[in-house]
Structure 1
Amino acid sequence: MLQSKFSSASAHLQSVGVSAVASSIRVEDPIQAALSKLGTVVSFERNAEVFADEEPAEYVYQVIRGTARTSKLLEDGRRQVSAFHYPGDIFGLAPLETHGFSAEAVTSCKVLVVKRSALEAAAAHDAALASALWMTTAHDLQRVNEHMVLLGRKCATERLLDFLHSTADRMQTPSLVDIPMSRQDIADHLGLTIETVSRTMTRLQEAGVIALEGSRRVRVAERRCAA
């Protein structure tokens, strides 16, 4: 049962309207309309599980408030954080019948939860919704490809700067980044150690590329355009 699963994950169902936050959500209108109509808002505490690796992919999720992450835990205990999800982001659109990753709340979150079969049925009768879902999937695939290049060909400094710039872009704050996740989360996302993340942050600050404004806020210099 949906409610019992979320209850065991320290979440509780909320009967709240979604239309009040729709204007702040960066998602296509057809998707927002469908999710608002079909979904239920669920609250998750920090680090609570949203769904487990290999769990049946019966639901689709959209962050309303807070930040979530998807990750994979390897047999030897190492973890790869595949993505972070911010308000407006949709996640859990699995290509198979089960999830290949787990998802957790990075911060206290409100997440809109929609039955996958209901969303698929709606898309089958709504070309605009189907197209918007396709575009969302295409954007996600583009981010995955960019992350593969980052992990495979970029040094620690490039990885961290790319992460800060992309986070600022997604949060629509070009030069100021509020970082809700821990440095361990960042390290596991960038394929680095937490010590390397901390050293690189210090070097970038000393070079004047970034300015740390507290433990969770970073001011980043603008991207340099290639000549």
Structure 2
Amino acid sequence: MQTANAALNSHAAPSAALLRGTPLARSAPEASALGSFRRLAKDEEVFVEGDRAAFFYKVQSGAVRTFKLLSDGRRQIDAFHLPGDIFGIEPGEEHRFSAEAVGDATVISYRRSNLNAETKDAGDIPNEMIPAVLLSLVRAQNHMLLLGRKNAVEKIASFLLDLSGRTANTDQIDLPMSRTDIADHLGLTIETVSRSLTQLERQGTIELPAHRRCIVLRNKPALERLDM
């Protein structure tokens, strides 16, 4: 995972802020010159699988999950998108996944047809597109490896390290998502997620304060060994 991310950073240096998961919009007027703001309540849909992909989106605040409902009713969460992340970019005319807000969130929607060389006042968005696509590819590859080759504790370790690298406070993670969300992202049950977190806490690798959405990383090298 570290090698892939290093390669991505070497090709996307002009948009390093995007790769860190930090907001790229410098101001609301610049962001709104080409896109429009949309406030979302918890679990509110951004788009549904099969919708026409006329827009793509950038998270301004909060978090968004993209997911697919399987034929048996199970939900597979593809990714969590944090402030600064661009999502909803599609190669075809329809969205292949659904997207909804994890909690209260704000996104900026951009019309795909406006993104061309002659668009004025586009800001940095056209330059962010290639790094965003590359980043999505790397994360998809890492997620595929995680689902297919890692045990439950290793999956949790990888997930925590990924979130840590995308937030300002790398030693404490305030989870925007529930344990059910985590389970549906990692291909686990909620009971297995809870047991794995408790195991890591007993080993002194993490700390689970009384606030269930907060996780303190006490021993990152131990997590990194599990992530290898």
- TM-score (norm. length: structure 1): 0.81
Query: What is the CA distance between 1:25 and its match in structure 2?
Result: 7.2
1:184 aligned to 2:183? no
- Using the aligned pairs only, state the percent identity: 41
Pairing of 1:124-143 with structure 2 (within 5 A): 130-143=126-139
Distance, in Å, in 1 between the alignment partners of 2:170 and 2:136 is: 20
- Cα distance change, pair 131–75 in 1 and its aligned pair in 2 (3 A): same
Distance, in Å, in 1 between the alignment partners of 2:212 and 2:203 is: 18
Distance, in Å, in 2 between the alignment partners of 1:106 and 1:67 is: 6
- Cα distance change, pair 122–99 in 1 and its aligned pair in 2 (3 A): farther
1:222 aligned to 2:220? yes
- Cα distance change, pair 164–79 in 1 and its aligned pair in 2 (3 A): same
Give the SS at the match of 2:90: coil
Query: What is the CA distance between 1:26 and its match in structure 2?
Result: 2.3
The correspondence for 2:95, drawn from 94, 99, 124, is 99
Distance, in Å, in 1 between the alignment partners of 2:101 and 2:148 is: 27
- Cα distance change, pair 47–142 in 1 and its aligned pair in 2 (3 A): same
Distance, in Å, in 2 between the alignment partners of 1:192 and 1:25 is: 25
Distance, in Å, in 1 between the alignment partners of 2:70 and 2:188 is: 15
Indicate the RMSD between aligned Cα atoms, in angstroms: 2.7
Pairing of 1:27-46 with structure 2 (within 5 A): 35-46=31-42
Q: How many residues were matched structurally?
A: 202
Structure with higher RCO (Cα < 8 A, 6+ apart): 2
Q: Look up the equivalent residue of 2:78 and give its one-letter code.
A: S
Unaligned stretches of 5+ residues in structure 1: 1-23
Q: Look up the equivalent residue of 1:216 and give its one-letter code.
A: R
Partner of 1:155: 151
Distance, in Å, in 2 between the alignment partners of 1:65 and 1:28 is: 12
Distance, in Å, in 1 between the alignment partners of 2:172 and 2:148 is: 27
Q: How big is each residue's C-alpha offset from its partner over 1:123-149, in whole Å with a ceiling of 9 and x where there is no partner?
A: 7998x7544311211111011111111
Pairing of 1:175-214 with structure 2 (within 5 A): 175-213=171-209, 214=211
Q: Look up the equivalent residue of 1:43 and give its one-letter code.
A: R
Give the SS at the match of 1:219: strand
Distance, in Å, in 2 between the alignment partners of 1:206 and 1:182 is: 21
Q: How big is each residue's C-alpha offset from its partner over 1:80-128, in whole Å with a ceiling of 9 and x where there is no partner?
A: 00000111111001111000000000010111111111124657998x7
Distance, in Å, in 2 between the alignment partners of 1:61 and 1:29 is: 12
Give the SS at the match of 1:223: helix
Partner of 1:18: none
Q: Look up the equivalent residue of 1:145 and give its one-letter code.
A: Q
Pairing of 1:7-22 with structure 2 (within 5 A): none
1:83 aligned to 2:79? yes
Distance, in Å, in 2 between the alignment partners of 1:125 and 1:43 is: 23
Q: How big is each residue's C-alpha offset from its partner over 1:4-43, in whole Å with a ceiling of 9 and x where there is no partner?
A: xxxxxxxxxxxxxxxxxxxx9725579x997442111111
Q: Look up the equivalent residue of 2:220 and give its one-letter code.
A: E
Query: What is the CA distance between 1:206 and its match in structure 2?
Result: 1.0
- Cα distance change, pair 158–122 in 1 and its aligned pair in 2 (3 A): farther
Distance, in Å, in 2 between the alignment partners of 1:192 and 1:185 is: 10
Distance, in Å, in 2 between the alignment partners of 1:122 and 1:89 is: 24
Q: Look up the equivalent residue of 2:72 and give its one-letter code.
A: D
Distance, in Å, in 2 between the alignment partners of 1:75 and 1:27 is: 36
Give the SS at the match of 1:112: strand
Partner of 2:45: 49
Query: What is the CA distance between 1:168 and its match in structure 2?
Result: 1.1
